[in-house]
Amino acid sequence: MAIRHFLSLMDLTREELDTVIERAIELKALRAQGIATEPFRDKVLGMIFEKSSTRTRVSFEAGMAQMGGSALFLSPRDTQLGRGEPIEDSARVISRMVDMVMIRTFGHNVLERFAAHSRVPVINALSDSFHPCQLLADVQTYVEHRGSPTGRVVAWVGDGNNMCHSYINAARQFDFELRIACPEGYDPDESIVATAGDRVSIVRKPQDAVRDADWVATDVWASMGQETEQQQRLKAFEGFLVDHELMSHANSEAIFMHCLPAHRGEEVSAELLEDENISVVWDEAENRLHAQKALMEFLQENSN
Ligand code: CP
Ligand code: NVA
C-alpha cells in the first residue's frame, strides 16, 4: 500500500467514491442514533488554511473530535509557512507529527508539492482549481434526495471556477451529463473540460443548461482571491441569477445546490435559496461533516 491522497475526485476510483458516500450516509445515521464511531483515537489532523472558511473548518474539526481524534488549525499568519518556509520542508516536518493533513490554498501546485513530500494522506480542502470535498457532500446529498446521479442531467450556472472543475470531475466519475452555462471569458479550464469528452458541454444561456435538468448548482461569481474583480464580474454575470423562473425550465423534480456562502440576489435569489422544496443547501452543508469523516476513514484505512 502507498499513501492515498485526495487532491481531486480523480484520486479515488468510482467504486471507492461510492464506498465513501455509502459510509458517509451510514455515519450520519449512526450519529443521529447517538452511536459513537471512534477509529481516530490518538490521531491528529493538521489543517492548513490560507483562505477563510466556516464549513470546511467546522466540519473537519468537529469530524475529527467525533471520531475520537483531534485537529490542529494552522494559519500562515502564525506559522513559518507565512514567513516563506518551503512547502516541501513544511510537508516533511508536519507529516512526521500528524496523521493526516488538509490544506486550503490558492495554487493547486501547493497541494501537489505538499503531498509529494508528505508521509501521511493530504486532502484538498479547496484550491483555485478544485473543491473535491464539496463534491462528496453534493453527491451524498443528491443520493439522499433523489438516488444515484448516474445518467442524470446536471446544470452548472455561473463561473467556470474550482467548484465547476470539480463538477466536471464528478460528471466523469459518476457518469452524468453536465451542462455548464457561463458568460464568455469565464469558461472552465479547457484542459479539464477536454478530459470529460461528450459528458460536458458549455452553453451561454442559463436556460439552455437548465432545460430538463435534474440537478442545478451554482456558486459565487467572485471566488476568494478575486475580490478586486467583483464589480466587473457583477456585470459579466448579468442574467445568470438562479431563481424560481430559471428552475421552472428544469425537470419538475429538480433540486438546487450551492456550496455556500451565498450572495442572495446575485447568483441565487433569496426565495429560491430558502425554498426547501427545491433547495437542499442546508443538507448539503451538513453533509460536509459526514462525507469528510468517511473520506478520512478511507484514507487512513488505505494508506500505510
Ligand atoms: N463551501 C465551503 O467550502 O464553505 P467554507 O468556505 O465556509 O469552508
Ligand atoms: N468558488 C468559491 C467556493 C467557496 C467555498 C471560492 O473559491 O471562493
Q: Can you tell me which atom of ligand 2 is nearest the CA of 223?
A: 8
* 304 has pLDDT over 90: no
Place of cell 486550503: 104
| Contact indicator for 255, 216 with CB cutoff of 8 Å | yes
Pocket lined around ligand 1, Cβ cut-off 6 Å: 53-56, 126, 134, 259-260
| Residues facing 256 on adjacent strands | 216, 279
Spacing, Cα 131 to ligand 2 middle (Å): 8
CB 273 within 8 A of CB 14: no
Report the top-level CATH class of 9-130+288-301: alpha beta
- Region 232-251: mean pLDDT is 98
- Average pLDDT on 190-210 reads 98
Residue 98's pLDDT is 98
pLDDT in the model for residue 271: 98
Q: Using 50, 70 and 90 to split pLDDT, how confident is the model at 100?
A: very high
Inform me whether the pLDDT recorded for 125 exceeds 90: yes
Position 1 pLDDT exceeds 90? no
Topology match between the domains 9-130+288-301 and 134-284? yes
Among the listed residues 188, 83, 178, the one whose alpha carbon sits nearest the alpha carbon of residue 128? 188
Q: Under DSSP, is residue 219 helix (H, G, I), strand (E, B) or coil? A: coil
Supply the pLDDT for residue 288: 99
Task: Name the closest-CA residue to atom 1, ligand 1.
Answer: 259
Mean pLDDT (whole number) for 196-201:
97
In this predicted structure, the answer to whether residue 228 has a pLDDT above a threshold of 90 is yes
For ligand 1, atom 7, name the residue with the nearest CA: 54
Residue 67: its pLDDT value, please?
98
**Which atom of ligand 2 is the closest one to the Cα of 259?**
5
Ligand 1 pocket test: pick from 47, 53, 131 the residue with the most ligand atoms within 8 Å of its Cβ: 53
Q: What digits encode the pLDDT tens for the residues 140-163?
A: 999 999 999 999 999 999 999 999
How far, in Å, CA of 124 to CA of 107, rounded? 11
Mean pLDDT, the chain, rounded, equals 98
- Catalytic residue positions? 104, 131, 134, 219, 259, 288
Q: Is 226 exposed, middle or buried (0-12, 13-18, 19+ CB in 10 A)?
A: middle
Query: 70 CA distance to ligand 2 centroid (A)?
Result: 26
Q: Is 224 in the pocket of ligand 2 (CB under 6 A)?
A: yes
Q: Using alpha carbons only, what angle is made at residue 108 by residues 179 and 63, rounded to the nearest 5 degrees?
A: 85
> Domain locations in the chain?
9-130+288-301, 134-284
> For the chain, give me the number of helices (H) and strands (E)?
12, 9
Partner residues linked to 215 by β-bridges: 154, 255
pLDDT given at position 213: 98
Q: Tell me which ligand sits closest to the C-alpha of residue 219.
A: 2
Site to probe by mutation for ligand 2, drawn from 59, 126, 135 as the one with most ligand atoms within 8 Å of Cβ, is 126
Q: Tell me the CATH architecture of domain 134-284.
A: 3-Layer(aba) Sandwich (3.40)
Tens of pLDDT, residue by residue over 10-58, are 999 999 999 999 999 999 999 999 999 999 999 999 999 999 999 999 9
Over the stretch 47-88, which tens digit does the pLDDT of each residue have? 999 999 999 999 999 999 999 999 999 999 889 999 999 999
